[in-house]
Amino acid sequence: MIVVTGAAGFIGSNLVAGLNKRGVSDILAVDDLTDGDKFVNLSSVDIADYMHKDLFRGLVTSKSLDNIEAVFHQGACSDTTERNGHYMMDNNYRVTLELFEYCQEQRIPFIYASSAAVYGAGPNYVESPENEAPLNVYGYSKYLFDQVLRRRMDSLAAPVVGLRYFNVYGPNEQHKGRMASVAFHNMVQYRSERHVRLFGGWDGYGDGQQERDFVYVDDVVDVNLFFLDNPSVSGVFNCGTGRAQPFNDVAMSVVNGLREHAGQSALGLQELVDQDIIRYIAFPEDLKGRYQSHTQADLSALRQAGYTKPFRDVQTGVSDYINQLISRRRI
């Protein structure tokens, strides 16, 4: 059996779908469905069993689980604005550590979600301690466990891989609220208000020109499955496209993608601004000093590990995202 924690969440549910495409359905889905609306992310996939995260944690610590082939640990508090450090460190760091120790003892491959938040403001996004300076407790919770793995690399009993996700977007993120991707928020805004809003200039960047490494969730799934297929590799790896694109690119791709489905022609950035379809708002004061204005994954380590597949750019990924949402009647 393969365990996927956070299985009803965004990346977790897409990972379950990716396993299903391989013919794998002997999957234990671990999550917290207190927010019952998340069930929709599991309704279209095939799993063997569901378990609440607290029950699963208890079975891990009591060593009462059997016949586990691999663990994809995607479950975490992903709200980068959460200030409750006790909650964050227990939920993100301590649970990961407990699961890691169990997998090592049982010699189970362990692939877990880290985050580009460990790099803080950058500017160097290479998997090395001198580049890491988290800006919030979420980033710190991910950073701290990455350090545990680094200390244990020479004595691992089973493969362990940490994937530092950059800005992931795609289907099944509708439950994430303000933490959903900018692509999702742009879609909702445009469908309901016929315009989208982006941050205005700040930190040396013009209106809508702050850049992120936006990575499509299907590419993230492919990277996870690559490491399942290559158990000889362990370590911490960036999981992004290696390409920084401005928020303007996302907004343009969203608007023009939806316009295409409505039988309308594509518009350039200046036309979208002139027609008040893209609007810029003042950069929020509470984010100044705690915001990544530019991220770009260095993929050298990932490529050296043997991963060769190309990554979708924003235009390609957003187009596929829109097509999927429309076909599922979710937008």
256-314 pLDDT, tens digit each:
999 999 999 999 999 999 999 999 999 999 888 778 899 999 999 999 999 999 999 99
Examine residue 203 and state whether it is found in any structural domain, yes or no.
no
Candidates 102, 112, 119, 138; catalytic one:
138
In the chain, what is the greatest distance between 2 CA atoms, to the nearest angstrom? 62
Nearest to 213 by CA among 131, 297, 134: 297
pLDDT of amino acid 135: 86
Examine residue 77 and state whether it is found in any structural domain, yes or no.
yes
Examine residue 132 and state whether it is found in any structural domain, yes or no.
yes
Q: How many domains does the chain have?
A: 1
50-83 pLDDT, tens digit each:
999 999 999 999 999 999 999 999 999 877 777 8
What is the percent of the chain with per-residue pLDDT over 70, rounded to a whole number?
Answer: 100
Q: Which amino acid is at 309?
A: K
- Which domain covers residue 56, as residue numbers? 2-169+216-243+296-311
Q: Catalytic residue at 102?
A: no
Examine residue 174 and state whether it is found in any structural domain, yes or no.
no
Q: How buried is 308 (Cβ within 10 angstroms: 0-12 exposed, 13-18 middle, 19+ buried)?
A: exposed
Examine residue 209 and state whether it is found in any structural domain, yes or no.
no
184-217 pLDDT, tens digit each:
999 999 999 999 999 999 999 999 999 999 999 9
123-176 pLDDT, tens digit each:
999 999 999 999 899 999 999 999 999 999 999 999 999 999 999 999 999 988
Residue 59 sits in a domain whose CATH number is 3.40.50.720
Examine residue 284 and state whether it is found in any structural domain, yes or no.
no
Candidates 50, 176, 280, 291; catalytic one:
176
Q: Catalytic residue at 138?
A: yes
